[in-house]
Chain A
Amino acid sequence: MKKLQIISAAAAVMALGVTAASAGTLQDVQARGELRCIVSTGLAGFAYTDSAGVYQGFDADFCRATAAAVLGDASKVKFVPATGKTRFTILNSGEGDVLWRNTTWTFVRDVDVKLTFVGVNYYDGQGFMAPKSLGVKSAKDLDGATVCIQTGTTTELNLADFFRSNKISYEPVPIETNDESRTNYLAGRCDVYTTDASGLAATRSTFPNPKDHVILPEIISKEPLGPVVRHGDDQWGDVIRWVLNATRGAEELGVTQANVAEMAKGTNNPEINRMLGTEGDLGAMLGLQKDWGQKVIGAVGNYSEIFERHIGKDTDIGLDRGLNALWTDGGIQYSPPFR
């Protein structure tokens, strides 16, 4: 009897999902037929679940773009939600293949935490939000304020540095998830809420009365947010990097979700042809199908389309392109040539 139990327990363990992975993430994903994409547990505009429980948002669309490139089907994504604390562990343990979550590229994370940042899909900076009624005009006025922060992020390090260098005091209220910081801020547990400026705008858009809150002018840090992969898997890193570049390149070259099918029949611009796979075989060099670029744009559109759909001017979030405009429009988003 006991033996039987042990054996069947072991069988149950096997059945529940012990999976053995091989060397390359790309091969694993293709063999599995599903991309495990790590996203935020919930940040309006970037990664959030809609009323049907499906992940939507800027980061979520990049997950779909990756799945389209790797598997040819944008719907074959399993979203793995992670807090600031668990995200790197989930990536490093192999539970997730790629981290498309607003994650700041820093030296220590890149070098010491052994991650590989493969690009920047959103240039951000840390800001402050306060209720209008408080009458705060600048972050330098915040002496003695209570500040809600999300733990496990670069935010709390920047915050400590900012207040220290300005010689003003504050009380940090460290909270694990964005949802709870938000609840605490609205309940008045803290005077100020700080996170990336994009996150502030996103969070504010979900408030009952967004107009009662102001975002202060100071941006106290550089926060280049971008996708992360495990250290040492260069092929997979290349795939992610060029998926990101394809969306930016498509915007530069005027390829959109609407006209990609048309353009894929062949154009006079050899670079478009190379990107969409009608000329040469860049896909094979990445270990992907020839038409990967076409699949990416067909699934989610180019960078500008993704941006405007989820966080742009016409959405509740209402962010400007700002630094994230193309280099030709005064921003710093730039794609290396497809050659």
Chain B
Amino acid sequence: MKYNSPAAISFMLFAFIACSSSVMAQEPSAYANDFDKSIVPILKEYCYDCHGIKKSKGKVKLTDYQSWADLEKNPELIEKMIEALNKNEMPPEEENQPSAYQRKVMLIELENAFKNAMAHSTPAAPLSLRRMNRFEYGNAVRDLFDLKSWVYSINDRIIRDHNNYFRPETGKMPKVARVGNRIMGLQQMLENRLLGVMAFPKDPPAENGFNNRGDHLSMTPTLMEAFLELSRSVVNAENFDKNCQIWNDLFQDPSQKPLIQGFGFINADKSVATHSTGLTISAWIRPTKVTKNWQTIVRREDSWRRQLLAIGDTDGTWGIWMGAGIEGQYVEFGAPVKPSYLGDGKWHHVAGTFDGKEMNLYLDGKQVGSKAVVGKLYTQSMEPMEIGSYHQKEVFHGDLNDVRLFRSGLSKPQIEEIAKGKQDVAKEEMVGSWKRKNDVKPELNQPIEVIAHKRIREFLLRAFRSPADAKTLNLYTEYFDKQYKESGDFTKSMKDVVSGVLASPRFIMVHNKASDDLPNHASYNLATRLSFFLWSSIPDDELLALAGEGKLQDPQVLEAQVDRMLNDRRIKNFCDSFAPQWLRINNLVSASPDFKTHRNYYFGGDDKISYKRGMHMMLEPLLNFETVFIENRPIMELVDSDFTYRSHLLEEWYQGRAATYAINVNLRDIEFTRTPLKDRRFGGVITTGAVMVMTSGPFRSLPITRGSWVSSVIFNDPPEPPPDNIPDLNADDATLEKEGLTVRQKLNRHSEDSQCSGCHQKIDPLGFALENYDLLGRWRDTYRTGLKVDASGVLFGKHPFKDVVGFKDAVLAEKDVFAKAFTKHLLSYGLGRELIVSERVAVDEIVKASESNNYKLRDLIKHTAVHLVFSQKMKQ
């Protein structure tokens, strides 16, 4: 071979590209001739034998293509060829191989052909109409009514967050996440939710896909019955009214006094409950009335261990009061303030802190009182912190704004900063905050129907994700009028309207094309696409407002919005939905290591088969995923990370120190701690106990299942279905011991069968790379038989590795392959359908855009969301 130095090859390639593109531009016929000269000789030598006239394996018959034009009619095939060449899958190992140079020539030519093919093709397939799945429906209803509670309890959302660890806006995962596992844990479904509201059945995932796929989400009478029932049971739930934060703006009879609801709430968590060390409540207040009775600023109840900040009088001291359960007692402390000072009609800042040593009270940045109390916070309540009243008692008269709750006692300078109006003080310590959205607009002196119609119009915009046309609006307003005329009950009539809205296809069905006649319809469509992709829910007011102004498609606005959405806590819905499905983590629910032989997988007593270590294992890769997301780390850290989140039980397990007797641990609220890792055998998502256990059988690890998992999940290349007649491997422990073989040796014999070898060459090395993890996810050097584990292999025919660390290196060396594979998962999830071949171009562009910054997870999501494939006007 003449050209064998890399420089010569790259020069040659450069010349080749330059030459072929200029030929293309000038002489189509000359370009067509190229097919015979450049590619046919290679095909003839290496491919036609199996994919030609004699044989056409895998239904691929390359001799059918006589010119580039022929081939360009079949972009799917071109893509297949590129994949096979890239990963050295073709020609098969045992056949003659083209030179590296020939391979590169083929790849460049095929890439060109693919681009040409795409130039003629339709750019994008439309998103089709589909119903919401049950996860989305629950989120959408919750957001629509700004509910304080969940709509229903479902295990689609696996992680239950007990310490509000998920705070994307901070860009940092806390060291400790206190979490529960809803699908494998116990008592995890007991949470604040609408009473008597039943979810419809969980939607199954698509084959190699997600559960938001349009073609699977159809409507049937049985489901419609559930939707109709939901449309009524949601608004009529006995605790709906007090959980609905838009009550006064929608359901409240305008001729009556508004329902006293307080102002809002902050979802508090364990970090300001049991055994935590501090608490700060900060608020801006403007009382209109100063009374002797207490007026609540923030409060939550827990018999005597309540937590609160209030103004009022006790035992002759009028002032600011703070209360909290500390160790075994309830401490209430007040600092005297002049009522006339607070009641002067101006805004004042008040704050109460407790840092484990003392309680301090502040007014307008100045300390007004201090009391020594030593101990830890102690409250069992998991209720939200109510603002402005508690259970509609001790109501605050006047205005409250910018209420913040912190998980530690802030210092004096920090309080001063807040009182000066600074926004990002101690952000990492913040549990939650609440701000007044708009000033309440009085609806006086207008006929009740006018008010109702206005409310309905605003509500329809949010529920249907675009302004209702006159006909639709009339339908619902007339319906209101009819109901109101009959009953004279405003609230009931409005609930009837809302029930109709919740059952309307315009609400239940998503990705409908907002009518072309509607101004800015493309913007509204985009708002819905974005919100269902990132929030699994309806767009919020800001997105709708921008859509209404036609600004959402402005690239800068769009980017800013996507950033905002990625920082919003609703992005948890994306992590809850995408990550477990991508990882197929539900397989762990049913993984059943034999209860007798592998008794230590079960940490409860003999009667507690549901106490599986998998309950903890499942959360590790999910928390690692969320860390990579929140901290915007390169997706390579999903493969190889220097940290991981583990519970105590899990840490012991990996270290081989796990208790062999039944243990009693808290199942509801498990503490996962960020653990630095030096040992590259652990961490990421692949080499976690969760993945290892769920790809094992009851008695042994299943390398082919593992290989298939890696191929499908990591490389987005699910193996073809196995042939119908699979010979039994006969690889149970007893047989293997008798034969003195390892599973690998046994399997090699099986894979030699030519019918099977094609696929097994591809998936086996991926599975055997993980063979050092036993069926319970622990490291082993040898099998039980004493035979040594052989985890060596070659990735894509080009990266040899000796063990799993070498395997990780090999995957990292192919990081663009992983990035593309991951992006395809992401885009398919975002679009709610299988990708079509032309969308490979979009995938390449998204990956390219994220490359310079090392494929960070948030970047990939962002570039997906802002890509034209999302925002362009779809062809119908």
A binds B: no
A residues with a Cβ closer than 8 A to B are none
